[in-house]
Homo-oligomer: A and B are copies of this chain.
């Protein structure tokens, strides 16, 4: 039964009794034992394995997103496990659901203005054009009282050391630095206008570098989702050994209702 015209078609993988092929590679002979998880993730996004330089940078981008400590997502995964210990997949899925506009969305925001800038003339070779473009980008957010995506951090200042490291790696491994220059110029423009210390943060660096590596902006959020799934499993491992969810819950509940009930 062959449906050459069938609109329901997927070209990612197929299998026979003795083979599994993923994006054209034989999983058994070409991949297992040879390809690391990060490079296989690259294969899933681009349909080909990365070269050595691409591998270093791509792995660094995703690794930088795995673990950010006791974030709302990590709390959510732990609290969900408290109620449904039978479903590890549910606890991780719940944590992923918080990777939206507030946190990983800033990565997507930075990616988006980098991708749009690709069509603008001049700024790559003309510093005045760069400054003007950056000021326009910063203004497009600040005029609406939105934070500029990819800029600023409560703890890491005056520089976010992760962003600096990722930019250095990217440059050393042949990624076009134009987006780095653009994001830094946007940060300067925003700092000048607001008078605040506004480093390019890790999400800004990732948005800029991923876009330079041809990850589409709407997929950039996916880097955070795949990375954080790993980190949330790690939080469940710690929660098993050193549980905190019940404490967080009881403290919040007690504080929230302390002033409401006549006696308790």
Q: Which residues of A contact B (CB under 8 A)?
A: 1-4, 6-22, 27-29, 31-33, 35-41, 44-45, 55-56, 59-60, 62-64, 66-76, 79-80, 82-105, 155-157, 159, 161-162, 164-166, 169, 216, 218-219, 221-222, 225-227, 229-231, 233-238, 240, 242, 244-245, 247-249, 251-264
Contacts and interface: CB of A to CB of B under 8 A. Distances in A.
Contacts of A45: 233-234, 237
A264 B16 contact: yes
A221 B88 contact: yes
A17 B89 contact: no
B89 A99 contact: yes
A221 B59 CA distance: 23
Given A32-B60, A162-B27, A84 B82 contact: no
Nearest to A229: B229
A34 to B, nearest CB: 9
**In the assembly, how many copies of this chain are there?**
4
Contacts of A234: 12, 44-45
A91 B73 CA distance: 11
Contacts of A15: 69, 155-156, 261, 264
Given A17-B157, A86-B87, A255-B6, A98 B73 contact: no
A29 B162 CA distance: 9
Contacts of A165: 28-29, 32-33
B72 A80 contact: yes
A259 B91 contact: no
A236 to B, nearest CB: 7
Contacts of A87: 84, 86-87, 89-90, 97, 100
